[in-house]
Chains A and B, each alone.
Chain A
Amino acid sequence: MSELGRRRAAFAALGAALPLALLLASAAGTVWLPLGDLLGSIAAAAGLRHASPLTAAGETILWTVRLPRVLLAALVGGGLAVVGATLQSVFRNPMADAGLLGVGSGAAMGAVLAVRLGWAADVFLALPLSAFAGAMAAALAVYALGQAGGRGSVYGLLLTGLAVSALASAGTSVLLVATEEFRVKTVLFWLAGGLEGRGWTHLQSGGLLVLAGVAMLGLLARPLDLLSLGEEEAGALGLPVHATRLGLLGLAALVAGAATSVAGSVPFVGLMAPHALRRLVGPLGRHLLPASFLAGALLVVLADVASRTVSPSMDLPLGALTAFVGAPYFLLALRGSEGRA
């Protein structure tokens, strides 16, 4: 298949699969909502028909439990995938990811700190903003330390990311021990990742921030392409390299922080989606970013359905599910990239 054909096929497949997955995820759960009735209820809400075919209980389940959760899963997955694609270009490494660069751990630590101090319950947007602050602090630390002593090499940056990540995780552990018992469950939730009990308010806080950050990253697709050519060539083409990198890292931290504030840590999505798609749609930002968004959304929506339905008695942690898929993928990809920089 030609390159153009491959790209079109990938977009068509993702564009068809995501609405189907959203529909399926809204229907599936402890109570199955028949697809026809579900569509009818949505049509009624849109003013296309008089009454919803769902029962009152079904209406509640769909509109207050399932829909916001499913949409949030899509935004979290899409956002994390776009962050992964961005970091991969900024650090010029196809294996870069929010998790590997400490951005995810930083966000988790920010979120846990907000819970520990009780801000999360009291202050509007305190949680996503703390997560963002944590993510940004980690990103800046990685960037600054990786730059110290001259030009930052990719490996230096990744190793710095590991160190910062370990530091943030250690901080999180200390916070965990120091947290009152009634808050421990909330804290654990961030470490495992999940969308249990998320509703419209979360969509309005974290979800909107994710969307805004993703939109701005999309506008910077061209500078991102230049950065992937290397610092020198990007500079020779007139790009203010350091300012652009910092801006992109800031936006990536914003999105990662917002996603983490509502869903906890959901690892490997940011690595898998862009890594798998790069070969199909090419490495240019204007193709890779939207394709990654769709694939990440699909991945997390499906993982969330699995987390709700695999075990009848409890929700499995979402982050554990993506790690079960993502870790083997990471190892396979690492083998595939052996010997190449």
Chain B
Amino acid sequence: MSAPLLEARGLAVSRGRRPVLQAVDLTLRAGEALAVVGPNGAGKSTLVRALGGLLPPSAGEVLVLGRALADWSGDALGRALALVASEDQGPDALAVEDRVRLGRYPHRGPFRSWTREDGEAVSRALAQAGIEHLRRRALGTLSAGERQLAALARGLAQEPRILLLDEPAAHLDIGHQLRLFRVLDDVRAAGVGVLAVAHDLPRAAAWATRMVLVAGGRVAAQGGPDEVLAGEACASAFQVKVRGHRLADVPHPLYWFEEEPR
């Protein structure tokens, strides 16, 4: 097996004095699609931010391409790893293309001029995200789903080896969701490791090659997606009963959830 692109060892993170994550071990390899699932407040977003270097660990460490996060400079990290959060806060007047161009900052810094390579990366990112036609539209005129795709395109323009996403499908309708996950499949086919926090369990299970269940700030289960969803840890984390059904002509099990208060 190839060396992991991203690895967390005994990772603990606190926000203020409150410990949010404890003893998290996790790896992401090239071409892998890793879904992080868990109930609200379990620490998923904190995990993504800690993996992306935005929050410092209070214990343990994160290795990016085998090197500890602390040893990475900001721009070098921005070329190796892209993080796309679910809320796009870009100014309303900013054009989609200009927003995606800012994804080239880790390659350019404050002073290097624009190159043909930068231009090609941006065009590719816009095309991959399927938003070329929105190129010159201002962010303020887009739907929430379109803005989300523009934020994703910014991450793609970084040309990272690791792509971290926090609820990338949060605002997307079903058509856009399917397109998004197809884009992520294209990206990882090129050898990028993709980790996404997802709320929609069946969709996450259909997309992911592996799944990590986070509950109460710890990794409660990890493995094949269908295995994780069917497990006791999942039922107990969400306080639901999970039933999966295989149908002959559908590639993934269909899931049915029932409330199960304890």
Contacts and interface: CB of A to CB of B under 8 A. Distances in A.
Contact of A239 (B74, B91, B103, B136): B74
Given A238-B73, A282-B95, A220 B110 contact: yes
Interface stretch (B2-10, B78-86, B115-123, B186-194): B78-86
Q: How extensive is the interface on chain B, given as a class?
A: 20 to 34
A183 B145 CA distance: 61
B89 A282 contact: no
A236 interface: yes
B75 interface: yes
Interface in B26-79: 49, 52-54, 73-78
Contacts of B83: 236
Interface string A218-249: 01101101101110110111111000000000
A226 B102 CA distance: 7
Given A3-B136, A225-B102, A238 B110 contact: no
Contacts of A230: 89-90
A282 B94 contact: yes
A340 interface: yes
A276 B102 CA distance: 24
B89 A92 contact: yes
A69 interface: no
A222 B91 CA distance: 14
Contacts of B73: 238
Contacts of B185: none
Q: How extensive is the interface on chain A, given as a class?
A: 20 to 34
A23 interface: no
Contacts of B108: 222
Given A150-B16, A219-B110, A223-B110, A228 B91 contact: yes
Contacts of A278: 93
B89 A222 contact: no
Contacts of B98: 282, 284
B75 A238 contact: yes
Interface string B165-182: 000000000000000000
A282 B102 contact: no
A133 B91 CA distance: 31
B110 A236 contact: no
A279 interface: yes
A226 B89 CA distance: 11
Contacts of B53: 235-236
B105 A239 contact: yes
A78 B76 CA distance: 36
Contacts of A229: 89-91, 99, 102
A223 B94 CA distance: 15
Interface in A163-183: none
A34 interface: no
A279 B140 CA distance: 12
A53 interface: no
A225 B77 CA distance: 19
A230 to B, nearest CB: 4
Contacts of B260: none
Interface string A145-172: 0000010000000000000000000000
Nearest to B91: A283
Contacts of A226: 102, 105
Given A222-B110, A223-B110, A238 B78 contact: yes
B110 A240 contact: no
Nearest to B139: A283
A340 B93 CA distance: 13
Interface of A: 3, 92, 94, 150, 219-220, 222-223, 225-226, 228-230, 232-233, 235-240, 278-279, 282-284, 340
